[in-house]
Structure 1
Amino acid sequence: MTKLVAFETLKRPDTPNTYLVLPAGMMSTAHPDETSPVYGEPAEALYQRLKMLAAGKDRWTIAAHDDSEMQLEIVAATKLLKFKDDVSIRVVSAKDGAQTAEIAVYSRSRLGKYDFKANQKRVQTLLSELKGNAAATA
């Protein structure tokens, strides 16, 4: 079974082939590249929507999940060469409690030193898709 990433104690490599988004209040040993947007729905609803979105994406496989922690571990294959990259996602309630949520996302390449911003694009596309689909599920 794939081990869940511990965002609080995350150690990123020195190579530029990772991308990290963290909620504004999440304490972590790693410095994020971006702060999570706040989604206008409860964490559980966002997590369920995220699971459906991940399961429906081409070249994405959910390798592990923990529903109680609202965390997914995903293997994403690149389009052209089918390299396997890892994506860890955890949904957390935002500061206002049950009405809004944020996500922590860590995307990283298994091979190579440079990813030509593939991880950044993957994460930013996911964030945009979640924002764009929010109205449809509200």
Structure 2
Amino acid sequence: MSRACPRTETYIFIMSKTVSFETLVRPDTPNTYLVLPAGLNSTAEADKSSPVFGEPAEALYQRLKMLAGTKDGWTIAAQDDEKMQLEIVATTKLLKFKDDVSVRVCPSTDGTQTSELAVYSRSRLGKYDFKANQKRVHSLLSELKGNAAATA
């Protein structure tokens, strides 16, 4: 009697519903952080404007996917390559809380080969995050800016 080997398959989950930055409604709790490009019309007020990256949106999106896929404690839960948007679960080191991070790469609207990011980081639990979401977003922006300089 022979045993069949179990099938091993890899699935890439492509999320059909991603966070809509244009119609975003933030909670009243201070446990979120939002960065928006200057040209993106949103119902939510940004905490900070996105820096401008000196590269086309497609190149920035590829670097973002690579960085998010290798970042300790981060898991890409879903991606929408057409929108150039990732949905990420970030697990905190000490208490293993799971937070959600949505990132969309936006091409420049002025015709130049530059791009910006829309980033929304939020805690699943608790009212206060002790600026964890702000630190996470600033770290991501800083790493992408640093990697751009290293690859240029």
TM-score by shorter chain over 0.5: yes
Larger radius of gyration: 2
Q: Confirm whether residue 105 of structure 1 aligns to residue 111 of structure 2.
A: no
Q: Which has the higher contact order (CA 8 A, sep 6+)?
A: 1
Query: Counterparts of 2:36 and 2:125 in 1: how far apart (Å)?
Result: 23
Q: Deviations over 1:68-109 (max 9, x none)?
A: 100000000011000000000000111333500000000000
* 1:81 and 2:81 correspond: no
Structure 2 residue aligned with 1:41:
55
2:25 to 1, 6, 11: 11
Say if 1:43 and 1:98, in contact at 8 Å, map to a contact too.
no
Aligned AA (2:103): I
Residue identity over aligned pairs, in percent, reads 79
Matched residue of 2:106: which SS?
Answer: strand
Of 122, 126, 138, the residue aligned with 1:124 is 138
Q: Are 1:96 and 2:96 matched, yes or no?
A: no
Give distance in 2, aligned partners of 1:102 and 1:112: 30
After superposition, give the CA deviation of every residue in 1:45-76 in whole Å (9 maximum; x if it has no partner).
00000000000100000000011100000000
Q: Give the TM-score, by structure 1 length.
A: 0.97
Counterpart position of 2:9: none
- The TM-score with structure 2 as length reference comes to 0.88
Q: Which residue of 2 aligns with 1:114?
A: 128
After TM superposition, the structure 1 stretch with the greater mean CA deviation from structure 2, 119-128 or 94-103, is: 94-103
Instruction: Measure the CA separation in 1 of the matches of 2:110 and 2:60.
Output: 15
The equivalent residue for 2:76 is: 62
Aligned length: 138
CA RMSD of aligned residues (A): 1.0
* Cα separation, 2, equivalents of 1:67 and 1:137: 22
* AA aligned opposite 1:74: I
Gap runs ≥5 in structure 1:
none
Aligned-pair distance for 1:135? 1.8
